[in-house]
Structure 1
Amino acid sequence: MSKRLIMQIALPVFIESALMMADSIIHVIWVGHLLGGLAVAAIGACFPIILAFAAIAGGAARVATTPILQHFQAKNKEKMQTYVNLSWSFGVCLVVIMTAGGYFSSRSLLALFGTPEAVIGLAGGYLRIMMLGFAVMYLSFLTVSMLRGVGNVVARMLFVAISIVGNLVLVPLFIEGTGPFPKWGLNGVAIAALIVSVIAIIVSLWYIRRRVKGLLTRPTGWQFNGKLMAAFLPAGMPVFMQQLMLALGYACILFFVNPFGSDAIAVFYVTSRIDSIAAMPSIAVMIAISVLTGKTLQAGRFSEIPNLFRRGLIVNLPVVLLISLLCFFAPHFIMELFINDPNIVSIGIGYFRIVSLGYLLFSVLYVCNGIITGVGKSGIITLFSLASLVVVRVPAAAFLTQAGFKVNGVWLAILASFVALAACSLFYYLFGSWKKGWKMTVMESSGMKS
């Protein structure tokens, strides 16, 4: 497998992810420079809750679109209409339940993680507005799932670009109340995000209606069928579990960060955005490796898997190394992109000096995960993620914060979990049970079994 082939698959994935990350980073930059560290901490306190709701929305959208796309591609209009009605009924009920639940429990959910009262006071209104936008969140995932289902990468990038431009313009206007716009402060960030998302959804649906004839079939009535829904619920589980693990990992660490005050919360939120940026090239390569592993196995070229592993590392490592060195040697510059508060910048420097070299482990972790996913063992990756959280990250954070390391103990626990997760994936790639089946198939294909 050539490096060029890996890049051909990974590059579009990376660009799309980078655009989506840019959209979220714009909010942090505007909030940090216009409202300060307490406002950034408020968004950071809300983040795991929003991620958990996004997990539900993303998984539900996948459940809704999978059967519709299958019957659309099979040109079975009757079956497609059945699932459109079912998905519509399911979606409306889900939106009502999640919106009401999220809105009325916002402050309780923030208090559950030990969020400081000063942060709750600012975060409560922001989170309630975001919860009112659950329907928008669900529809966003729905349109993205449809575009992904018909294989239109360019359109998805275009609509993310619309969101970036919209937030770049509207967020500061709604924060400061420039011209005819009201001054809403942090709540303005949530309102601007909802408005921009609605615009992007409308454009997306218009595009799908014009370019993919027959896919946007109108619902003709309410329909509930437990057996039909249960048959497709597993389709949404990978998306749900992936987002849920992110939310759980963030929430567990936030629980230990909260006692150190709003500045530490602000640092954790900003640095978690940088962690995501550092992981993006590796995740793009992981997806490429997964696709190529599947094709390699289908073609019976099993001996090429180790070569695919090496090529993945060669493509991935230089980019991750550059990001890691930049974060280690220029953390002051990175933090000041988001916020100018000297105390927050100082805590952020401590984070990067501890964690940033651990980014190099992403290269090994995600290349291994790409191969593991490609051979159909993705469940083990979720198990490793859960184990690294429960067995390593949480106990290490609890011990180190009480042992005198203070907030740096939390950062050390994050690094320890990176090491544990990479070690588990590498060990499974080298010695896991999947290799037994692979070796046996190699023997059969070469005639050694006979």
Structure 2
Amino acid sequence: MRDFTEGKIARQVIDFTLPIMLGNVLMSAYGIINLIWVGRLLGHKAVAAVAACLPIIMLMPAFLIGLGMATNVLIAQAFGRKDTAMLRKILSNSFFSSILFCLLISLLGILFRHQLLQWVHTPAEIYDMALSYLTIMMAMLVFHFYVSWMNGMLRGLGDATTVVKILTLLAGFNVVLVPLFIRGIGPLPPLGVAGAAWGSGAAAALTCLIGYVYLLRFNPYINMRQWDYSLDGNIIREVFVIGVPASLQMMVISLAGVFIVSLVNRYGTAVTAAFGIGMQVDMLMTIPFISIGIAATTISGQNLGAGNLERVFETTKISVCFGLVVGLVCTVVLLAFSEQIGGIFLKKSAESSRVLGYVRDYYRWIAFIFPCFGVVFAVHGVLRSAGDTLALLALSFIAMFMIRIPLAYGLAGPGGFQQDGIWMAMLASSALAVGLNWLYYRRGPWKKKRLLNPSSSPSTKKTSFSA
């Protein structure tokens, strides 16, 4: 655990971002590991089946991730003002409400899996594979959620090192279990694409168990026996006031991804496979920017809780500069090595060469998005630390549904640039998002927002219950 209300901000941003970045690399690793194993062991059609599910898998748990973001913000602010009693109440109230929603979302995902796959125009030749993969991923969602919740709680406390340990465990289990479930071993039969989902879920379940036991020894807040099991109306309200717009923001982005995938699927399996590879690489390349944003949220949140607004402004400047440098590096790497990177996911064949050609075309445009991410993610991190997630929702909606989607359909439509028009629209919307977000940061009312009162304030009606 680390206090960011004192010390040199530049060093804190870099020192805290780096382990977060490593943790996020490991968190994304199991998705990339899955896709590599699927592509190498089962071929490009299996890759396309997994790719068709990715926007749905990102969309369904978005509400839970938003609640986790709210918990992170509240924990950071309470920790910044040294309010231990409030911390324990935030943990208990946020955890149990989120678990209930996780089970509900998992059930809805399973019940409506056919409609979801039809919604993204999943090609018939990969439909059965995509269906089995999606069903299992939805069934195992609760384990992935708990890993994510533990990590968010630790980051709010400024502890990124333990997150790295937990995610190293998760990635290691994936490396071992995913190929075993795909190809089978001993009494375990080959499960194909479904095996990738089963292996990933089993890895998350094992990580939940071992991670909790480990944290019982080293973290004073994780022990559920020591939590304050009182329903706190203010905490629950703030979790939803912050978390629902954050969730809707992610849903807007994921829903935009569904429309993009639906449009991409019209150009055939090879383009879909190329886009699936591109999405996985983009998720990896986006990790530094997500990490910078998370670091900005925690550092700014602690300082807002402590009333140090000048340190928040300094955090923004340093985070944006850091993000721009990383973004330019990503652009150069992807322009120079797009085909080599794409080749990692496929075994050599005439069809894979065609797919890699589409990957190269994709990055002629998408490579230039990453400097935009450097600004947007840093600004989002600071705004989120103040709980101003409604503004982030509005900004994302404008960028995605008023700019990206209409532009993509226009540029890729009849007489347009086909799939290249989609990539052009994605770049244009990202560039415009930079200006919109920076303008709001400079002029918006986020600086005046106040969240929970200190725990000593008797302003909340409470109802006790036992564990």
TM-score range, shorter chain: 0.7 to 0.9
Q: Using the TM superposition, give the Cα deviation of residue 375 of structure 1 relative to its aligned residue in structure 2, in angstroms.
A: 6.4
Percent of residue pairs identical: 25
Match of 2:371 among 360, 372, 375: 360
Q: Using the TM superposition, give the Cα deviation of residue 148 of structure 1 relative to its aligned residue in structure 2, in angstroms.
A: 3.9
When the two chains are superposed, the root-mean-square deviation of aligned CA atoms in Å is 3.9
Q: Which residue of 2 aligns with 1:342?
A: 353
> Could you give the per-residue CA deviations for residues 164-187 of structure 1, whole angstroms, max 9, x where no partner exists?
111111111221224443211100
Contact 2:324 2:372 (8 Å CA) reproduced: no
Q: Which residue of 2 aligns with 1:193?
A: 200
Q: Which residue of 2 aligns with 1:284?
A: 291
Taking a change above 3 Å as real, the CA distance of residues 133 and 284 of structure 1, as seen in their structure-2 partners, is closer
Match of 1:413 among 398, 420, 425: 425
1:137 match: secondary structure: helix
Match of 2:397 among 386, 400, 403: 386
Q: Which residue of 1 aligns with 2:4?
A: none
Residue type of the alignment partner of 1:45: A
Q: Which residue of 1 aligns with 2:274?
A: 267
Which of 1 and 2 has greater Rg?
1
Residue type of the alignment partner of 1:415: L
Taking a change above 3 Å as real, the CA distance of residues 21 and 404 of structure 1, as seen in their structure-2 partners, is same
- 2:267 matches 1:255: no
1:427 match: secondary structure: helix
Q: Distance in 1 between matches of 2:378 and 2:66?
A: 25
Match of 2:47 among 40, 46, 51: 40
Q: Which residue of 2 aligns with 1:444?
A: none
Q: Which residue of 2 aligns with 1:448?
A: none
Residue type of the alignment partner of 1:410: I
Q: Distance in 2 between matches of 1:187 and 1:109?
A: 17
1:92-241 residue pairs with structure 2 within 5 A? Answer: 93-148=100-155, 150-212=157-219, 215-217=222-224, 229-230=236-237, 232-237=239-244, 240-241=247-248
Q: Distance in 1 between matches of 2:419 and 2:15?
A: 41
Q: Distance in 1 between matches of 2:437 and 2:289?
A: 14
Taking a change above 3 Å as real, the CA distance of residues 5 and 232 of structure 1, as seen in their structure-2 partners, is closer
Q: Distance in 2 between matches of 1:290 and 1:94?
A: 24
Q: Distance in 2 between matches of 1:408 and 1:271?
A: 13
Q: Which moved more, 1:162-171 or 1:18-27?
A: 18-27
What TM-score does the superposition give when structure 2 sets the normalisation length?
0.79
Q: Which moved more, 1:229-238 or 1:165-174?
A: 229-238
Contact 1:289 1:370 (8 Å CA) reproduced: yes
Q: Using the TM superposition, give the Cα deviation of residue 273 of structure 1 relative to its aligned residue in structure 2, in angstroms.
A: 2.3
Q: Distance in 2 between matches of 1:149 and 1:293?
A: 11
> Could you give the per-residue CA deviations for residues 81-120 of structure 1, whole angstroms, max 9, x where no partner exists?
x9959965x5675455333332232122100122212222
> Could you give the per-residue CA deviations for residues 343-395 of structure 1, whole angstroms, max 9, x where no partner exists?
21111110001211232222333344455456664533332111011111111
> Could you give the per-residue CA deviations for residues 405-441 of structure 1, whole angstroms, max 9, x where no partner exists?
11111111111111111121233345x245998xxxx
Taking a change above 3 Å as real, the CA distance of residues 367 and 199 of structure 1, as seen in their structure-2 partners, is closer
Taking a change above 3 Å as real, the CA distance of residues 216 and 372 of structure 1, as seen in their structure-2 partners, is closer
> Could you give the per-residue CA deviations for residues 261-297 of structure 1, whole angstroms, max 9, x where no partner exists?
2222222222122223333223333444556666499
Higher helix share: 1
Q: Which moved more, 1:383-392 or 1:240-249?
A: 240-249
Contact 1:393 1:414 (8 Å CA) reproduced: yes
1:66-77 residue pairs with structure 2 within 5 A? Answer: 74=84
Contact 1:45 1:115 (8 Å CA) reproduced: yes
Q: Distance in 2 between matches of 1:75 and 1:5?
A: 26
Q: Using the TM superposition, give the Cα deviation of residue 332 of structure 1 relative to its aligned residue in structure 2, in angstroms.
A: 0.9
Taking a change above 3 Å as real, the CA distance of residues 76 and 261 of structure 1, as seen in their structure-2 partners, is closer
Contact 1:285 1:316 (8 Å CA) reproduced: yes
Q: Distance in 1 between matches of 2:392 and 2:219?
A: 35
Q: Distance in 2 between matches of 1:164 and 1:110?
A: 27
Q: Distance in 1 between matches of 2:370 and 2:251?
A: 22
Residue type of the alignment partner of 1:280: I
Q: Distance in 1 between matches of 2:169 and 2:45?
A: 29
The answer for unaligned runs of 5 or more in structure 2 is 1-7, 449-467
Instruction: Find runs of 4+ consecutive structure 1 residues off by over 6 angstroms.
Output: 62-73, 222-228
2:61 match: secondary structure: helix
Q: Distance in 2 between matches of 1:124 and 1:41?
A: 12
Q: Which moved more, 1:385-394 or 1:265-274?
A: 265-274
Q: Using the TM superposition, give the Cα deviation of residue 239 of structure 1 relative to its aligned residue in structure 2, in angstroms.
A: 5.0
Taking a change above 3 Å as real, the CA distance of residues 233 and 299 of structure 1, as seen in their structure-2 partners, is closer
Contact 1:59 1:238 (8 Å CA) reproduced: yes
Residue type of the alignment partner of 2:123: P
The answer for unaligned runs of 5 or more in structure 1 is 438-450
Q: Using the TM superposition, give the Cα deviation of residue 202 of structure 1 relative to its aligned residue in structure 2, in angstroms.
A: 0.3
Residue type of the alignment partner of 1:393: R
Q: Distance in 1 between matches of 2:203 and 2:178?
A: 10
What TM-score does the superposition give when structure 1 sets the normalisation length?
0.82
Q: Which moved more, 1:331-340 or 1:262-271?
A: 262-271
Q: Using the TM superposition, give the Cα deviation of residue 213 of structure 1 relative to its aligned residue in structure 2, in angstroms.
A: 5.5
Q: Distance in 2 between matches of 1:76 and 1:3?
A: 29
Q: Using the TM superposition, give the Cα deviation of residue 207 of structure 1 relative to its aligned residue in structure 2, in angstroms.
A: 1.9
Taking a change above 3 Å as real, the CA distance of residues 87 and 267 of structure 1, as seen in their structure-2 partners, is same
Q: Distance in 2 between matches of 1:309 and 1:73?
A: 25
Q: Which residue of 2 aligns with 1:423?
A: 435
Contact 1:9 1:288 (8 Å CA) reproduced: yes
Contact 2:70 2:387 (8 Å CA) reproduced: no
